[in-house]
Chains A and B, each alone.
Chain A
Amino acid sequence: MTHAAHASHHYTSTGLDNRKIAIWAFIGSECLFFGSLISTYLIYKNRSLVGPFPHEAWTNPQTGETVKAILDIPVTSASTFVLLMSSLFMVLAHAAVVRGDRKYSKIWLVSTALAGTVFLGFQAYEFTSFVHEGLTLKTNLFGSSFFILTGFHGAHVTAGVIWLLTLFFIDLKRGLRPTDAINVDLCALYWHFVDVVWIAIFTLIYLIP
């Protein structure tokens, strides 16, 4: 094995690539991070003194105006489906890089980034409509914990989209070779983690009343 080829691998005494160990350790720490945000949301659940509320209508005693249940399940279901499909695109992008298929690696990488962007668009629409309905970060306990939790998730999706686009432009410029598969694998692990966090959020926040 040449020095250059040897240097491209980052093996440790475990026989495992240290970059993969690092990303799994990072994902493990993210479990605790999102665990704290989810527990905060659940502790504050149904303890808001004023509306708007997530699952029931609320009448403002000062204005007499009634605000319907604020969560829009059909819209969020659509964004959940988009994020689930992005995970499929991601594994296909990784498979394409592994087999050195430059055409499909580009197609699937940009598809994943696009799906992530669409998800962020749904989130921007949701946040905007909530603010128009009168729910902000400062309105009540639901607003605070909801925007913090889903906002941090959205920030993670944004970071993932930037990572995906970086890989896409590298692929455009010089092409991702099978030896670069580890770089796509690291991004894929991060992206799938963002997906599984949303799986938990979708059930705990949106579907459980």
Chain B
Amino acid sequence: MAVEHSSESDRVASAEPHHTHGDAGHTHPDWSTYKWVALILTVITVVEVWIFYTPFAETRLFIPSLLTMSAAKFAIVVMFYMHLKYDAKLFRALFTGPLLIGVIVIISLLFLFGQLNFFLE
């Protein structure tokens, strides 16, 4: 029997628990999770831009704070929107392996060209 849903969120919430990957059998997050993820991403972005315009931007904590917030946003999107938190370990390896190599290459090149101090000062 068809179930009538009052809103898009109801539709997604009722449909999502049945959704699994055929290949891996992992359940995806539901509408509520997606909503919270979007809210958290928005709040972090607002805070990033806000501190850019405050005296906090002149302090030594400014760049580490920005990098931390950016890394948090990156991880949240990858884990929840790209479902890496719920997906097969092989996918995680295929993504995090090159990502780690990329980050190490960036840090190494900054060190070699004397630009790493810029981030550490």
Instruction: Determine the interface band of chain B, counting residues with CB < 8 A from chain A.
Output: 35 or more
List B residues 67-107 near A (Cβ within 8 Å).
Answer: 67, 69-70, 73-74, 77-78, 81-82, 88, 90-91, 94-95, 97-99, 101-103, 105-106
Instruction: Determine the interface band of chain A, counting residues with CB < 8 A from chain B.
Output: 35 or more
Q: Is the interface of A mostly helix, strand, loop or mixed?
A: helix
Chain A's closest residue to B58 (CB) is A209
Q: Is the interface of B mostly helix, strand, loop or mixed?
A: helix
List A residues 40-71 near B (Cβ within 8 Å).
Answer: 42-43, 45-46
Does B8 have its Cβ within 8 Å of any Cβ on chain A?
yes
A43-B110, A73-B52, A203-B48 are contacts. A99–B73 as well, Cβ < 8 Å?
A: no
Q: How does the 8 Å CB contact mask read for B15-31 relative to A, with 1 for contact and 0 for none?
A: 11011011110001001
A39-B109, A91-B34, A208-B63 are contacts. A203–B90 as well, Cβ < 8 Å?
A: no
Contact with A42, one of B24, B31, B49, B110 (Cβ below 8 angstroms): B110
Does A129 have its Cβ within 8 Å of any Cβ on chain B?
no
**Total contacts A to B, CB within 8 angstroms?**
153
**Cα–Cα, bound, A108→B28 (Å):** 18
**Cα–Cα, bound, A80→B73 (Å):** 12
**Cα–Cα, bound, A182→B31 (Å):** 19
B residues at A contact (CB < 8 Å):
8, 11-12, 15-16, 18-19, 21-24, 28, 31, 34, 37-38, 41-42, 45, 48-49, 52, 57, 63, 66-67, 69-70, 73-74, 77-78, 81-82, 88, 90-91, 94-95, 97-99, 101-103, 105-106, 109-110, 113, 115, 118
